[in-house]
Amino acid sequence: MSVSRLESVARKLDLVVEHSGRLASWTGFALVLVMAFNVLLRYGFRTGSVAMQELEWHLMAPVSLLCMAYAIKHEGHVRVDILYGRFSPKAQQVIEFISCLAAVALCVIVVKLSYGYVEQSFRIGEGSPDPGGLPYRFILKSMIPAGFILLLLQSIAATLRSLIPLLGGTPSAGKPDKELEHAA
């Protein structure tokens, strides 16, 4: 596969992650509104709702699981550079490639392991065990493989990009592409 083809595939994967992350980020806004409403009910009217409290963590799942690939794409993650910065550029490229492959493997494992868990939840139509709780807990559980599939796509894109310098191409800057951001 040519260097330009690797970059092209990586850009297409980035688009999926970009659009999914932007869409899922709106659940963060919804989460803030629900939490504010719950606080108002609790302290203003001395009442509350089990369903509304459960809705808080139902909204937290898409924020954390569906937005993690987006955060990594935009380098919003914590990176430990204590040793990495001291290595030669070639060693850094090899470490980057190996760590990207490890991320791909981890994502595949989590998706595979979570599939049966989510399938069982769908099969029984799992809902909240609490009186007044939310139904459709299986939808919430489906965020686990969905989030790790998005992370897998982002990890594949990063793996392809980390392979480019190892094949003699010019490494990507590693920053989100301005052209891609405007397309999204």
Candidates 106, 80, 109; CA nearest to 95 is 80
Domain count, the chain: 1
Domain for residue 54, yes or no?
A: yes
Domain for residue 118, yes or no?
A: yes
Candidates 57, 1, 7; CA nearest to 173 is 7
* DSSP state for residue 132 in the 8-state scheme: T
Domain for residue 13, yes or no?
A: yes
pLDDT above 90 as % of the chain: 59
Q: 84: which 2 tokens?
A: 């990495």
Domain for residue 78, yes or no?
A: yes
Q: Are 15 and 183 in contact (CB under 8 A)?
A: yes
The parent domain of residue 164 ranges over 3-178
147-184 pLDDT, tens digit each: 999 999 999 999 999 998 888 777 665 444 444 444 44
- pTM for the model stands at 0.83
Candidates 183, 166, 23, 160; CA nearest to 174 is 160
Q: Are 11 and 154 in contact (CB under 8 A)?
A: no
Domain for residue 184, yes or no?
A: no
Domain for residue 183, yes or no?
A: no
